[in-house]
Structure 1
Amino acid sequence: MVTETTAGQCYLDRVQGTRRLSNYWWAVVVGLGGLGFLLAGISSYTHLNLLPFADPTQLIFVPQGIVMGAYGVAGLGLSLFLWLLIGWDVGGGYNEYNKQTQQVKIFRWGWPGKDRRVELVYPLDEVQAIRVDVKDGFNPKRALYLRLRGKRDIPLTQVGRPLALSELEDQAARLAQFLAVPVEGL
C-alpha cells in the first residue's frame, strides 16, 4: 500500500510482514492436525476414544501411538511458532521518504529482543537510484532496492511474494519520480 501525503512532501510505502492470510491458514491447519495426532496418540495409550471421527484406540501404543503423539507435539509446536510470528509481525513495517525532513526511513519489525525494531535512516541526498532486480525461472525474484552512495543496496519490497512485472515497474517509476533519481535494471 502506497500513500502520498502532505502535498507531495512525504511518500509512505507499507510492507506486509507475517500477518498474511496464508500464514493464518497454515497456523490453523497445522494446529488442528497436530491436535488430532496428539489425541490419537493419547487415545491409543488410554484406550479411550478422544476423536469423534475415528477410533485410534485400535492403534498399538508402541510404536504407532508414540509416533502419532510425537507428530502431534511437533504439529502443535509449529502452529505455536506460526502464531507467534503472526503476533510479532516479523518483517512488517514501512518505507518513508520525507522531503520535509530530507530523510529516508526504512522500518521493520524483527524477532523479539533488543534489536526488535530495525530502523534505518539516511539523508535523501545519499539516494543514488532505485534498482529493479528481476529474475524469472523456477524461483522468480522481483524486487526493488534503494541504492545509496557508498553503501549496500537496501531491499524495499516484501519477501516471499514476487510482484507482477507491471506493478514493480509502476512502483519503481513512481518512487524514482518522487525522489528525482533514475531507475536502474529495467
Structure 2
Amino acid sequence: MQKEIRQDKIVGSRRFSNYFWTFFLFIGGLSFLLAGISSYFKVNLLPFANPKELIFFPQGIIMTFYGTLSLSLSIYILITMFWDIGSGYNEYNKTENLVKIVRKGFPGKNREILLTYPLVNIRSIGIKISEGLNPKRIIYLCLKDERKIPLTPVQEPTTISDLEEEAADLAKFLNLQLENL
C-alpha cells in the first residue's frame, strides 16, 4: 500500500526568510516611526539617536510614513506565518488513480484549496529552470489540455541536480515522461 501512495509535504509561509524579514521590518519600522514622532513632539523617543532635532516637515513626515509602511508589512508577513499560508501536500495515489494538491489559503470559506486530477489526464512531469536576477526552478504537472500546475513551493531555489532528481523520481513513480519546459 505504501508503494502505491506518495505524499510530498509543502512548506508554506513559515520559512526562516519570513521570520528574518518580519523581525528586520518590525525593528526598522518601529525606529522610523519613533523618529518621526520624536521630530513632531520634540521629545527623544530613541535612546541611540537624537531625532528631535529633525525638522518635522518633510523629514519627520517621511520617516513616519516609512515606519508605518514597514510596520504594516511586518504585521502582514506575521499574519501569513500565523495562518501558514501556502502549506500543504501533494499526494500521488496510484490505487485511486488521482493526484491531489492540497494547500492552505487565507481564512474564509475557501481556506482549504484542493485540486484533484485523474492520472489519465496527466501528460508528463515538466521542469522549468530559468537563471538570472530572479531564478526559478519549478516542477510542473503537465496536463493533456496544456495546463501546467506547479508542484514545488515558492521558496529559495534548490540546486538543479536536486530538482532534476526529485522530478525524475516523481516521473518514475507515476510512470510518466519527463520534459524540459
The answer for the alignment partner of 2:23 in structure 1 is 28
Task: Tell me how far apart the structure 2 counterparts of residues 137 and 53 of structure 1 sit (CA, whole Å).
Answer: 40
Task: Tell me how far apart the structure 1 counterparts of residues 153 and 75 of structure 2 sit (CA, whole Å).
Answer: 23
User: Could you tell me which amino acid in structure 2 is paired with residue 126 of structure 1?
Assistant: N
Moved over 6 A (4+): none
The answer for the alignment partner of 1:3 in structure 2 is none
- 1:130–1:181 contact (8 Å) kept in structure 2: yes
Equivalent residue in structure 2 for 1:129, among 106, 124, 132: 124
Q: How many residues align?
A: 181
What TM-score do the two structures reach when normalised by structure 1?
0.88
SS in 1 for 2:101: strand
The range that moved more, 132-141 or 11-20, is 132-141
The answer for the alignment partner of 1:167 in structure 2 is 162
Change (3 A) 1:37 1:138: closer
Equivalent residue in structure 1 for 2:152, among 157, 178, 183: 157
The range that moved more, 79-88 or 144-153, is 144-153
User: Could you tell me which amino acid in structure 1 is paired with residue 135 of structure 2?
Assistant: P
SS in 2 for 1:169: helix
Superposed CA offset, 1:119-164 (max 9, x none): 1012223222111122233433221111222351211111242221
In the TM superposition, residue 43 of structure 1 has moved relative to its aligned partner by 1.5
Task: Tell me how far apart the structure 2 counterparts of residues 163 and 59 of structure 1 sit (CA, whole Å).
Answer: 46
The answer for the alignment partner of 1:51 in structure 2 is 46
Q: Which runs of 5+ in 1 are unaligned?
A: 1-5
The range that moved more, 122-131 or 30-39, is 122-131
The answer for the alignment partner of 1:84 in structure 2 is 79
What TM-score do the two structures reach when normalised by structure 2?
0.90
Task: Tell me how far apart the structure 1 counterparts of residues 146 and 127 of structure 2 sit (CA, whole Å).
Answer: 17
Q: What is the root-mean-square deviation in Å for CA atoms of aligned residues?
A: 1.8
In the TM superposition, residue 114 of structure 1 has moved relative to its aligned partner by 2.9
Q: Structure 1 vs Structure 2: percent identity of aligned residues?
A: 50
The answer for the alignment partner of 1:101 in structure 2 is 96
User: Could you tell me which amino acid in structure 2 is paired with residue 176 of structure 1?
Assistant: A
- 1:143–1:163 contact (8 Å) kept in structure 2: no
In the TM superposition, residue 179 of structure 1 has moved relative to its aligned partner by 0.8
The range that moved more, 22-31 or 155-164, is 155-164
Task: Tell me how far apart the structure 1 counterparts of residues 130 and 82 of structure 2 sit (CA, whole Å).
Answer: 32
